[in-house]
Amino acid sequence: MARGECCRAATTTANRKRAEGTHAAWRHTAASAWLAEGVSITDVAAWLGDTVETVYRTYAHMMPGADERGRAATARFLAKLRACALNVPGEVAK
């Protein structure tokens, strides 16, 4: 390989690696931002073309408050069930 060809090949390889690194950085930034803002992990996984398991393993730390949101959602759901149970026609409320 001539000297000029060698330099062009090295430059092309370096540029490709830089572009790949930039793509990965933007992808990681986007996934982190989406999850931090509460976007569904299933949506993020679909957008990234990854499995939910992979996204969870990689980005779980970006979902602050997920445990508390889950507990609150469960409490709201159970409160609705209790309210419905209390309003069933023919049933005696306890």
Are 58 and 84 part of one and the same domain?
Answer: no
Residue-range definition of the domain harbouring residue 38: 3-63
Are 9 and 19 part of one and the same domain?
Answer: yes
The number of domains in the chain is: 2
Q: Is the pTM of this model over 0.85?
A: no
Backbone angles phi, psi at 81, to 5 degrees: -60, -45
* pLDDT value of position 60: 85
Are 39 and 50 part of one and the same domain?
Answer: yes
Are 18 and 57 part of one and the same domain?
Answer: yes
Are 24 and 40 part of one and the same domain?
Answer: yes
Are 9 and 34 part of one and the same domain?
Answer: yes
Are 46 and 70 part of one and the same domain?
Answer: no
Query: C-alpha distances in angstroms, 87 versus 5, 56, 78, 84, 93?
Result: 81, 40, 14, 5, 8
Are 10 and 53 part of one and the same domain?
Answer: yes
Are 91 and 70 part of one and the same domain?
Answer: yes
Q: For residue range 22-57, list pLDDT tens digits in order.
A: 788 889 999 999 988 889 999 999 999 999 999 999
Are 56 and 70 part of one and the same domain?
Answer: no
